[in-house]
Structure 1
């Protein structure tokens, strides 16, 4: 509402001569809180008193304008405005996003709620089962104790038994009772073992369900992040569209008010022009009347003084001509002065109105600026709070992702180790089979293949590159630079060879920069150490200083030294160019070493912190050699040996068929032999039977006859 009133005020101040401005009194009467007190005429500040007088004059002019237009000077305009579309869109977007976040959080936490409910139910069931088990064990213990006491009492009574049958019956009864007791114990043990097995199965199912819940949780979290990102973008587009539409509406309303003001000004100017033309016509009529009156008076004087006229005819003609000329000049000057006076009056009034309008515009713009600053501060604070909350959520999400990544890495490692153990067992079995085939079946010497993959345990990990320490590199650089100087002294006049291909900079350049670093960074070395190093040679003293400087700057390996040297070589004006073979003094001034060292330390530590932060997160493993590793295990038996295996398999199958046939024939032969033995036994019994002697023709004689005839 305040913004529209300000825009209405600006539109009113842009009107023509008859347009006034809203006064402080009218603004206060409308109930609008401008946030500032009105200027007072009794103030000690001169500018405030001037501003108060201008506002009072503007209020009077506005009251006169309202009175001229037929309006109530004390009436105020109370305009009810609708809320801005941009604010409404922002509020709707905030509500939709809040609902989406709450729904997503509920969707993600539903998994945990369901898991907690299942765990609660499982614990209640487990407590009930535990109670039943304890009750069953206690009951069984009581019954077993009673049975054991009964058996013991019967053993005590066994001494009273004198008859063996009673002792035998007692022993059988005791044995049955002991067996029943042991059977009850075994039955209870079996039930407990079944319960334990059921618990193991239930534990495996719970692990599978937990893995499924974790996968579902990750999937829902990823979907929630995608939906939030998409919704944030859509709501941002809607908000931008609302702002653009509001801007177009404001521009249209201001343009319409401006056109209305210009039209009102044109009508006012046209009315002023018509009034001026009427006044000009009235002046012309008055001049004509004056001319007629002067003519009549002239005729009367002419008649009355005709005689005088004849005498003064010549003088009269001269005076008349002079009068006529002077009259024209005076009329012309009068019109010119009148025109100038009107123009000056119009210009003065326009300038006054313009000054007043500009002051009003300035005050309104200041009020609008204060309101917008307050609004932007509130929006900035709200956005800052949202940003902090989102950052905290992002950190929590990163923590969960790192946790899940570690769990996935452990699972991957366990599955890898399990598959690797199974693969090694299969490879070992295949090698044993291949050895048996070569040595026993083919009679050939067997040579074991290269089994380098059998020594590996766990996923493949790339070995880090070994680097030299910064102190070792400095020592080598000093030695190499000294040898180069000696070689230059021996072979003076020859071309100087460049740096070795394995090095990025020449030893001489490295030595010059390191010496410059020692000279300009002595504050990093303790004074006691400097006193102890004073009797040493220059190179040894520089090495000891560099060791302390490297420790203070946290430079550890050779790559850090190369980064420092490269930074010093590039630390110069952009238009200067120099090769790496130039001396360090030409590339960087000693006075700039300290500032360059500060810049390098800041940049170097920031990059190291980022790298350590990346390393602390989830590290992606290099899986480029995994396929080769498993294919190498699959190729442990060459293709040529597999062909031998195929040929041997077909031959063994044929040999197996032959052996199977032989086994069947052997079984048939054994069956026939057994039948023959049984028949011989029956025949022997038949021939040796006593009843044959009582027969008239014994069977032996018939068999002899048959044998003789045959």
Structure 2
């Protein structure tokens, strides 16, 4: 046997080991360790008289464990870089979109400024021209020429106003487009955040899995290297034993010395490999902790972004209030224009046509503002839906984390029972873990008061005689407590007698509309003043009016105590005045409002935005409490007792380890003392002495 180890075929193309000139600090440390190990090995082989060529071969062939550590470090670095690039791609794309949007916005702003400047210049020129013509009108004395000049001035003023309105329309269209673009940007930002969190979670899972795999590969490499080293030393040991059997008794001590040296070297290698293994394991665990901290930081960043979105929502609410103020200003402007129109009607009867056109324009403005108000309500419902989605996502995230913690606690409990205590383990009831998302308790769907009024006024207008108090013959209202005709009559009386709840300006604006539309808008304003929101409130109002009529009729009973028999046909199936007298409407409304306010004060309802639904959270506490009680208190006490016993066992093992270390140190000192004593006894200086120390030691030994 030549003592050379032939590398396997798979290691022929192995890259060179770590270099001292590398930019990586860990690689330089590893190269210095290899150089020190090579020097120690060369000195050891030179002391044993082995072939120096083996030293060169050992230097050229790197250890399997070092190569595996380097390969694992390179793969992990590449995986981290790829994951970082994958996560940052989202931010790069968002920045590119923002730069493009700002460029386009700057171009549009320049165009708007140019258009406004051009329009201002043109308007100023037209205004100067109109002003000059007014000066010419003072020179005219003929009525016909003055009439022609007035018509010309009127056309030019109308053209100037039309140009202004056109520019205002274009700017409002641009504003609506910006609102839509803002909603799209919010949605895109939410999608980017979701994608970023998803990629981060995937990257953390991939890194954890890769770290575990590379750690397993490193452990296998160390184990394989240890087996190879043991096999190599075993072969050398057998060769040395065969040589020692052929040598004389004088070389026996030298062979025993070599055996001890081999054992020490093996122990040193085991200790060194164990230390290196622990260092690598600690480093990998530290990297995992750093990645987890980075994940927590990203979660905190996500929470900060969520608070920013909530702040933006508050800003939008503030804009809603500003829009309300703007609407009030528009109403005051409408009032001023109506006053001006009335003055012009008194002064000039010939401008009646112009007055009608302006009145129609004001009606169109009112419809447009009403449409804008409905659009604003739609946006509010949209933001409420977005908030509900965010609540759902946060719930699912916390629920997933809770399930993982519960499963981890159950695994720990199972391991403690089966491996530590040797007891059978039974899984608890985990029915609550099948739930995904927030707990949902479906409320009863109700129509709004305005929707019910619209259906009643329009749906039952064609067949007023077919509806009865019992609901027979009414197919559109199968589940309501009153017939559509009764509800319609009560609402019509309320609409006619409750005009004081509306502003006079609103009454004037409703005059050109049709009867049904006028009644619906009046009822909407009345419902808003009375705080009637859903269809149940409308039915309560109808029931209160009917009972109020009956209570007013009770004093009409006979004085002898005998009450009149009620007719089989309900009194509210004929005329509206039979349901409730118009003079009693105001008193009935006052009583109904007080009763409704007292009832709502007792119930303490939660105010909600239009289009949102209140979620029932009564079962949330029980649901989350079930997760905290998955491990009963009896098992937790078993955990505490087991922990106390394991700590005591650990103390015993620590004491034993210290005693073993002390024993090894004493054995090594004893061996060194024996060697020194042997050298001292065999020294040549003892023959020159008159009384050699060997005689003294022999005398002492004989006396002993």
Query: Which structure carries more relative contact order (alpha carbon 8 Å, separation 6+)?
Result: 1
TM-score (norm 1): 0.39
